[in-house]
Homo-oligomer: A and B are copies of this chain.
């Protein structure tokens, strides 16, 4: 059985839970308090030298890090990852977009505002993420204004990856009401079979 080492309120970790649930795969979840150093212990670094969650244990002692690599592994040969070469590349396009152009702004702003022990001290830093986050949302809105899902005109791990932090972008100070196509897409994701909500803490 798969084991996930993860922090439930992390969007990166929640993606993995969403994929496992969507695919009806059995798993156990080991909660890791990444905000209080549990990814930096010698024991955890032996599992993932990069010191990050989520981490998938595929079989005892075989560990796969990087949320979006985990999504690709889980979705391999399933409807969540197209086989067609170009359509699969389009899914990957959005996965890389998410990690480079979206997460560093939207997830970081959310962390600083909601989870940092002294959010007031981080206000300027959080606000410095605003332009980049809105740019990423505008790119998504542009795509979703014409397409029901981000890639391949069907629900895929690209949607799961972008849903992770987009649906809690409000906690990072972003106003999703400005993005009607994103708002409609969030509802389409939440209407998928076996959709699972992010735990509140």
Which A residues are closer than 8 A to B by beta carbons?
A: 49-50, 52, 58, 62, 64-70, 72-73, 76-77, 85-86, 88-90, 92-93, 95-97, 99-101, 103-104, 139, 142-143
Contact = CB atoms under 8 A, between A and B. Distances in A.
Secondary structure of the A contact surface, majority rule: helix
B101 A50 contact: yes
Contacts of A139: 49-50
Contacts of A68: 92, 96
Contact of A86 (B58, B65, B101): B58
Given A49-B139, A64-B93, A100-B104, 10 more contacts: A50-B97, A58-B86, A65-B93, A65-B97, A66-B93, A66-B100, A69-B95, A96-B99, A99-B99, A100-B103
A164 to B, nearest CB: 14
